Amino acid sequence: MGTEEQGSQKSGKVAPAKGKLGVMVVGMGAVATTMIAGVEAVRKGLAKPIGSLTQMGTIRLGKRTENNAPRIKDFVPLADLNDIVFTGWDIFEENVYEAASHAAVLDQKTLDLLKPYLETVKPLPAVFDQYYVKRLNGTHIKKGKSKRDLADQVRADIKAFKKTVDRVVMIWAASTEIFIKPTAVHESLEAFEKGLENNDIAIAPSQIYAYAALSEGVPFANGAPNLTVDTPAMVELSKRNAAPICGKDFKTGQTLMKTVLAPAFKARMLGVSGWFSTNILGNRDGEVLDDPESFKTKEESKLGSLDYIFQPELYPDLYKDLYHKIRINYYPPRGDEKEAWDNIDIFGWLGYPMQIKVNFLCRDSILAAPIALDLVLFLDLAKRTPSLCSIGIQEWLSFYLKSPQSAPGLYPEHDLFIQSMKLKNTLRHIMGADLITHLGLEYYD
Ligand SMILES: NC(=O)c1ccc[n+]([C@@H]2O[C@H](COP(=O)([O-])OP(=O)(O)OC[C@H]3O[C@@H](n4cnc5c(N)ncnc54)[C@H](O)[C@@H]3O)[C@@H](O)[C@H]2O)c1
């Protein structure tokens, strides 16, 4: 058993996933509606949940010779898709059928088959302030005397929803807010609560939703790169109320590729002198990211991975001079069908240079929807797991996120394969199964 995985083997079984799981989605745009419509399509047997580890993945147990690899959803007690109930908030009044039709990610024929259900999912009025998302102007918005008052209104929404379901998880799939640096108001829960009273400018709407969720003991995931639960105040609240949190910003396309390729270069001790990444996309997310202040938030989130993976301080000859540049260009004709190009300048034996080009023609929300679903299901599992529910940050969910969150003083793990091992070993650990180290010497005894 590796030291990191040993952890505290706190006893206590994972509680079963009994009854309905309520999923409260902040922002019912392209990603959210693609997730909701997708879950309904799978429930109706119209499609397969491709891209979802919780639905399709297996987990090896025991030795390779044992041939024991159950499905993850049969190994850990996850909520069944048929038990999920969706609701949420948006700054526009459209129901999920209308919003999904506008997002134009899924074809209209599929949406029409799902219409009777999708029409029933209607957003509640949102907490919104255009100062934090410059390119949007909503109409379906809560009014309040203070940020504290708005947080109380969200808490009231959660309490009302809780009466109709057995458990609740919240996920932010709303627009990227402007770049905010943590300030004194984020240092402790006490300071944060004062900040809510005083309408502190460093408290954005996403933080108000997160505060409301964690105050109600509801786990919270953040699909966008804005500062939300990655502050001491929110970690404190998460631990206090046994409401698990994780990092932020769905790791879907270009960064997914980066966190696959970069570990390969490093494993082979190949140097990298430059990595230029550019994108075109034309959905509403692209429009919001066209604002320099929202772009800055995304840029910071996307930049982190390479530095952490390459560890230039350990390998100065290989990575000290790496030039990393990221561009996102709003280009309406492409809609949700983003195209990403990467030019990677690498060097090998004796410093001889080579180049790699990656051209990913992806579908943004098709990649993000299963991640959103998995995060919701795994956070609900964490909430029911005695050894996980009160530790705050669920580092094992870093697998899904561009900006993983880790304990203070600990660098985040970005390598997709380490993240995947960590996730699966966490599942083995909570179920009392042996961890897998890949040592394998026993086969040669
Ligand atoms: N699709 C991907 O591959 C991907 C990857 C990583 C992160 N993300 C992030 O996920 C988020 C959602 O992406 P999307 O493509 O669905 O965007 P979108 O613009 O289609 O949807 C966002 C929705 O949030 C709503 N909204 C904005 N502020 C709100 C608030 N304060 N309260 C409630 N609703 C609010 C908007 O009205 C909109 O309907 C974005 O922040 C994006 O950066 C997406």
C-beta of 281 in contact with ligand 1 (< 6 A): no
Nearest CA owner, ligand 1 atom 42: 224
C-alpha to C-alpha distance for 174 and 120, rounded to whole angstroms: 20
C-beta of 170 in contact with ligand 1 (< 6 A): no
Q: What is the pLDDT of residue 3?
A: 42
Q: In what order do the strands lie in the sheet with 271-281?
A: 323-330, 271-281, 339-347, 353-361
C-beta of 360 in contact with ligand 1 (< 6 A): no
Q: What is the pLDDT of residue 236?
A: 97
Q: Is the pTM above the cut of 0.85?
A: yes
Closest ligand 1 atom to 129 CA: 31
DSSP states of 215-274: HTT--EEE-SSSSSS-SHHHHHHHHHTT--EEEEEE--SHHHHHHHHHHHHHHTT-EEEE
Among 24, 25, 26, 31, which residue has the most ligand 1 atoms within 8 Å of its CB, making it the best to mutate?
31
Residues 6+ apart with CB under 8 A from 149: none
Instruction: Give yes or no for residue 108 having a pLDDT over 90.
Output: yes
- Confidence band, pLDDT 50/70/90 cuts, at residue 445: confident
Nearest CA owner, ligand 1 atom 6: 250
C-beta of 223 in contact with ligand 1 (< 6 A): yes
Q: What is the pLDDT of residue 11?
A: 52
C-beta of 368 in contact with ligand 1 (< 6 A): yes
In angstroms, what is the span from residue 173 Cα to ligand 1's centroid? 5
Percentage of the chain modeled with pLDDT above 70: 97
Q: CA–CA distance from 129 to each of 74, 76, 196, 220, 230 (Å)?
A: 43, 40, 14, 21, 21
The per-residue pLDDT for range 148-170, each reduced to its tens digit, is 999 999 999 999 999 999 999 99
Which of 90, 113, 140 lies closest to 38 in space, CA to CA?
A: 113
Nearest CA owner, ligand 1 atom 25: 27
In angstroms, what is the span from residue 416 Cα to ligand 1's centroid? 24
The per-residue pLDDT for range 243-267, each reduced to its tens digit, is 999 999 999 989 999 999 999 999 9
Percentage of the chain modeled with pLDDT above 90: 85
In angstroms, what is the span from residue 86 Cα to ligand 1's centroid? 17
C-beta of 127 in contact with ligand 1 (< 6 A): yes
- Confidence band, pLDDT 50/70/90 cuts, at residue 291: confident
Nearest CA owner, ligand 1 atom 39: 29
